[in-house]
Amino acid sequence: MWRTKDRVARRPWVGLAVALVAAGLVFAPWLPIMLFQAAHTGTPWAPATRPTTALTWMLADNGGGYYGEQGLGAVLIALALVLGVFGYAVDRRTTALDLRTRREFRGAAWIAAFTFLIGCSVSFVSHSAFAGRYTAVIFPLLAVIVAAGISCFASRWIRFGVVATVCLFLSVGAFWNVVYNRTQLKALGDATALSATPGDIVVFCPDQLGPAGLRVMPAGLTYISYPNYGSGQFVDWVDYTDRNQASDPAAFAGRVLKDAGSTRTVFVVWSDSYKTFEGKCTGLIDALSAVRPPQLLMAENGGRYFEHASLLRFAPSS
């Protein structure tokens, strides 16, 4: 098309080329930031994900999320995508596949596939994690292809049944996402409020529990996060792995006990299941327990909550 002498035919491609160049120029100032993040930030909370695993997660998330019926929803989405790219109606009872793909949706399929493949490959090579929400950039294309897959049934009643089935699974996923308690921190905050007095200290270990915890914990307490001894309001992801591995739980516990003195109770919201914190929070608990006896107020419940943690109380010596 670029080499054609027809100016009318070339005009859209010229506009597209100009848009791509302009987008590249606007994006260029962000490259140093991206390189810095690749070197110092990354995704330390999870390991790299293979492209095939990422594909499975994407289909599951588009099928409604992580609930019991997600597997069936993901299968329906996958079948609809295949039909959207290759399927066509022969008659009211027959739908066939054309391996040459459907011309009107071929471009959308290629763009979605290459975008996903490039993103997953770069993520895997750079040891970065993957989440289904990262594929939001291709979701509109996937939605169009799924709709095309449903439309390749000639019978109106079959199309209606397929749409109803897909919507049913998506509705179950939407309902589950609304009612599912993603974090246990609200329950831990309520338990803390029952026994805490103004001025007591609450420690979040690791610091990733802090942002959610501060939204639900009672007011009037002192909040500290491990390992940087900050308030827990934010997580500093720069050089996160190196900083966590270099941290000293015993020294941190000593500082907490010094600040607590002989009158302030120490509460610890903790979990030892976080990547880059292997053994650190357990070491903190051991160091505090050597000075004050621990009292378990609530155990972590990973079966019910996505973000789960335990709550320990270290009362001052009477």
| pLDDT of res. 1 | 47
Chain-centre distance for alpha carbon 315: 36
pLDDT 10s digits, 229-263? 999 899 999 999 999 999 999 999 999 999 999 99
Q: pTM for this structure?
A: 0.80
CA 94, CA 83: separation in Å to the nearest integer?
Answer: 13
* pLDDT beyond 50 at 2: no
Instruction: Characterize the bridge pairing of strands 87-91 and 94-97.
Output: antiparallel
Average pLDDT over residues 166-177: 83
Cβ distance 109 to 85 under 8 Å?
yes
**Distances from the Cα of 217 to the Cα of 35, 187, 201, 202, 260, angstroms:** 37, 9, 11, 9, 18
User: Where exactly are the structural domains of the chain?
Assistant: 1-40, 44-179, 185-314
Name the band, by pLDDT with cuts 50, 70 and 90, for residue 123.
confident
In this predicted structure, the answer to whether residue 158 has a pLDDT above a threshold of 80 is: yes
In 126-182, which ranges are continuous DSSP H helix?
139-151, 156-179
For residue 112, what are the contacts with CB-CB under 8 A and spacing of at least 6?
138, 141, 142, 145
Geometric angle at alpha carbon 281, from 276 and 285, rounded to 5°? 170
Predicted confidence (pLDDT) per residue in 6-32, tens digit:
565 566 767 778 888 998 899 899 989
